[in-house]
Amino acid sequence: MDYLKINKEAWDKRTKVHVDSKFYDVEAFKDGKTSLNTIELEQLGNVEGKTLLHLQCHFGQDTLSWARQGAKVTGVDLSTEAIEQANKLNSSLKLDARFIAQDIYQFGCENTEEFDFVFTSYGVLCWLHDLNHWAKIIASSLVAGGEFHLVEFHAFNDLLSGYSYFPQADPDVEDEGTYTENCDGTKSTMVTWAHSLSEIINALISADLTIESFKEYPYSPYNCFENLEHVTGKGFQMLHKGQHVPLLYSIKARKSAI
Ligand SMILES: C[S@@+](CC[C@H](N)C(=O)[O-])C[C@H]1O[C@@H](n2cnc3c(N)ncnc32)[C@H](O)[C@@H]1O
């Protein structure tokens, strides 16, 4: 099974719909609204003058938001459609981001640059089959002392939706529509892998990255799952038997300074 071809086709199709969605609200973004959330803004802090590699950048709104904060940014994504849209946004906003259409594993084989920050967020890990390899790419893309930042949807929610929490020998292959409100006609086959929190954390440890922070959150800024309810001033929550389900987590890890 050519999982890269299948997922690229799905993300090319999704991107065409996403750029016109209220969910991504490209017009507000063009008018100056950041697409970044408080979690990642607070976690990365000041990026002014720093180099930042954004893995799985989709059509670049977050990458370009970091550029607006003063970072010198590079975004990588498998979807050629997403990178085309990212380049269009970059030109129309007169920013100087660089976007690369590539599988992150291929990027890792070819890249020789080192960045101050590596950032990746919200719906990224399920598309990757080998997290040990992923973590090694992150480590080799960082300068000595550089920081890795991940903000991701919590797999606890997948478990409650009937998906495996623990890694399986075979990927999940499913036809699914996208998560934006204009999702009619977006069904595509997609190939995904389950990753437990211990698998993710151990992959980073095995790549010699030091985990400096790990946080879990009961609220999400995104209304992209079933059974979420909005709480003013907090975001979206999910209750299971009256208790909060963890919806997000974040990790900050650092490459040794020596
Ligand atoms: C859910 S999106 C990331 C969300 C992003 N934070 C956003 O909303 O803008 C996942 C992205 O991963 C990309 N992707 C999937 N597999 C990939 C791979 N092997 N290498 C690079 N990018 C990949 C997809 O093309 C898609 O743009």
Q: pLDDT digit string (tens) for 17-56?
A: 999 999 999 999 999 999 999 999 999 999 999 999 999 9
| C-alpha 68 to ligand 1 mean position (Å) | 21
Give the whole-angstrom CA distance, residue 66 versus residue 49.
Answer: 11
CA dihedral of residues 62, 248, 207, 127 (deg, nearest 10):
-70
Sheet holding 72-77, edge to edge: 98-101, 72-77, 51-55, 115-121, 142-153, 248-255, 209-217
Nearest protein CA to atom 5 of ligand 1, as residue = 58
Nearest protein CA to atom 18 of ligand 1, as residue = 103
CB distance 229 to 236 below 8 Å = yes
Does position 179 have pLDDT exceeding 90, yes or no?
no
Q: Which atom of ligand 1 is nearest to the CA of 8?
A: 25
**DSSP code of residue 182:** T
Q: pTM to 2 decimals?
A: 0.97
Nearest protein CA to atom 12 of ligand 1, as residue = 56
| C-alpha 213 to ligand 1 mean position (Å) | 24
CB distance 105 to 78 below 8 Å = no
Q: What distance separates the 2 farthest-apart alpha carbons in the chain? A: 52
Strands 98-101, 72-77: parallel, antiparallel or unpaired by DSSP?
Answer: parallel
Nearest protein CA to atom 17 of ligand 1, as residue = 78
Q: Which residues line ligand 1 (CB under 6 A)?
A: 7, 11, 56, 58, 61-62, 77-79, 82, 103-104, 121-124, 127
Give the whole-angstrom CA distance, residue 115 versus residue 249.
Answer: 23
Does position 161 have pLDDT exceeding 90, yes or no?
no
Nearest protein CA to atom 9 of ligand 1, as residue = 58
Instruction: Write out the H or E segment, with its range, that includes residue 216.
Output: strand 209-217
CB distance 213 to 150 below 8 Å = no
pLDDT band at 225 (very low <50, low <70, confident <90, very high): confident
Q: Alpha helices of 141-187 — where are they, by DSSP H?
A: 155-160
